[in-house]
Amino acid sequence: MKDIEKSFLDNHNKEKDIWRIFRIISDFTEAHEVFATLPSAVSIFGSARTPKKNRYYKKTVEISQKLSDKGFAIVTGGGGGIMEAGNKGAKVSVGLNIKLPQEQKINKYVKYSLNFKYFFTRKVTFIKHSVAFIAMPGGFGTLDELSEALCLVQTKRTGAFPIVLFGKEFYKPLEKFFKVMLEHDYISKEDLKLYIITDDIDEAIEFIEKYKGKK
């Protein structure tokens, strides 16, 4: 009896794995179809908990507007806070929503919405379909995306694209930790040139424009 139960469970899990593969393919296919019709995109990351009165919310709206004026589409996670601000300032806005136990609500400024079941397919889409990456202040999710981008550029697993850490007060302490890694020879001096830290919107946009069309 136990052998029969084990066989049933094994087959059931295999079927689940097969359907999971199809879901992964579907995520990538839907993303490709949407981005194929859009201009070059810039991804903006940051905390969903950022209130509208926060200066980084306002800065995100402004930087999104200026990038839109230069012909870029803006991609965010589609939720609230910094994500909402990024979509709000954009003429062409994309939201890559993730299905969570506590459902994330798509903000009203998203024009093109994609829903992902898996974090890794969502992260691949952010990197694959963006020519630049802006990290506004945020939590673990923002640091996860930032680390992914830095690692892929560092290891040359993706084309070199600009990475902007916006908010000196917030990101300078993180850079101090990067320098601790450097002291231990876990990264090289060149790796500290993979990004800029700035409070200046025009500097961020100028840094991004240098790479336009190169990815």
- Residue 5: per-residue pLDDT: 46
DSSP the chain: -HHHHHHHHHHHHHHHHHHHHHHHHHHHHHHHHHHTTS--EEEEE--TT--TTSHHHHHHHHHHHHHHHTT-EEEE-SSSTHHHHHHHT-SSEEEEEE--SSPPPPPTT-SEEEEES-HHHHHHHHHHT-SEEEE-S--HHHHHHHHHHHHHHHTTSS----EEEE-HHHHHHHHHHHHHHHHTTSS-GGGGGSEEEES-HHHHHHHHHTTTTT-
- Residue 8: per-residue pLDDT: 37
Q: Do 135 and 166 touch, CB atoms closer than 8 A?
A: yes
- Residue 103: per-residue pLDDT: 54
Q: Using one digit for the tens of pLDDT, what is the confidence trace for 79-98?
A: 999 999 999 999 999 999 98
Q: Does the predicted model carry a pTM greater than 0.75?
A: yes
Paired with 96 in beta bridges are 114
Q: Which CATH architecture has domain 2-167+194-209?
A: 3-Layer(aba) Sandwich (3.40)
- Measure the CA–CA gap between 199 and 190, rounded to whole angstroms: 22
Which residues of the chain are modeled with pLDDT < 70? Answer: 1-15, 100-104, 212-215
